[in-house]
Amino acid sequence: MAFESRHIGNNKGGSGMIIRVLLMGAILVAFVLMLRKLPGVMTEVADNETTSEPVTATYWPESNLPVIQHSTFTLTYDEEHEQAKWVAYVLTKKELNRQFVDRTDWFEMDEAIPTGSSEYYDYKGSGYTKGHLIPSADRAWNRAVNEETFLMSNISPQAYNFNGGVWRELEENVRDWARSNDRLYIVTGPIIGKSTKTIGENQVTVPERFFKVILDFDEPELKAIGFIIPNAATDLPLSEFAMPVRSVEEQTGIDFYNQLIQSDSLEKVLESNFELNLWPVDENRYRMRVDKWNR
């Protein structure tokens, strides 16, 4: 009976408690709003903020294929091979320093592709993993933003030990470089080459290689570097796959910076040269790849 008495309570007393709780809640909300208006009071980035950089088409290569704009990255889709020809985005220290959300790991068709993208089941039992082009970890501060990286238009067939080995190492080093340089312009994608191997009902072509080009376009030290890596496990260091951006352009047929860099002479200098010492890699990470990730 004691439990029954506490549960039902006195109607007048219960109403008073509800009023007090509501008043306290209203006071708390008003206090938070007041703090936000005070000068010098910092607030955290809203969870629903999708980007710290403007999404501008002029950042990215021109394309004869359909260009698809998502909230924090752009891609052009190659229907013949059922995957992106390239994915382009900006990566910043500000983004990487935000509080992370958990990976969604929910792969789904990209309905923004007019002809339809590949499907997750194309990869089932194929012997290849669903390899991200823009990494999930590069878009981890917001649930909706992270979900977009799992759209199948951002996925290419990758060998397991490539995806979890040298490609992972490159992605992690790129995040290090973004933290050191504040902001990087990145374009990445598959190189189909002469491959005729396909997987799944939608006949997704397995690329021979993958590329990534990275541009630091902020003073005081403008610089760029490119990578082309075979779609297979390797014990070779990343330096073996590094090259000038111009070399990547020649092998992909993509002019990466024709819209971003207005000066032809500056574009030529940045694309024709690279200095490995300006892009330091984590040697411990390389050893981890060789000794553990590749196994």
Identify each DSSP E strand in 28-73 by its residue range.
Answer: 67-69
| Segment holding 269, helix H or strand E | helix 264-272
Identify each DSSP E strand in the chain by its residue range.
Answer: 67-69, 74-78, 83-92, 129-132, 155-158, 183-191, 198-199, 204-205, 209-216, 223-230, 242-243
Q: Which of 7, 70, 81, 132 is catalytic?
A: 132
Task: Report DSSP letters for 65-107, one per residue.
Answer: SPEEE-SS-EEEEETTTTEEEEEEEEEEHHHHTSPP-------
Has 132 been annotated as catalytic? yes
Q: Maximum CA pair distance of the chain? A: 88
| Helix, strand, coil percentages in the chain from 3-state DSSP, rounded to 5 | 40, 20, 40
Q: What b-and-e string marks burial along 229-259, b requiring 16 or more CB atoms within 10 Å of the CB?
A: bbbebbeeebeebbbbbbbbbeebebebbee
Tokens 């007019």 locate to: 114
The answer to the question of whether 163 is labelled as a binding residue is yes
With CA atoms as reference, report the closest residue to 103 among 151, 136, 145: 136
* Feature table: binding site for Mg(2+): 163
Q: Could you give the residue numbers annotated as active site?
A: 132
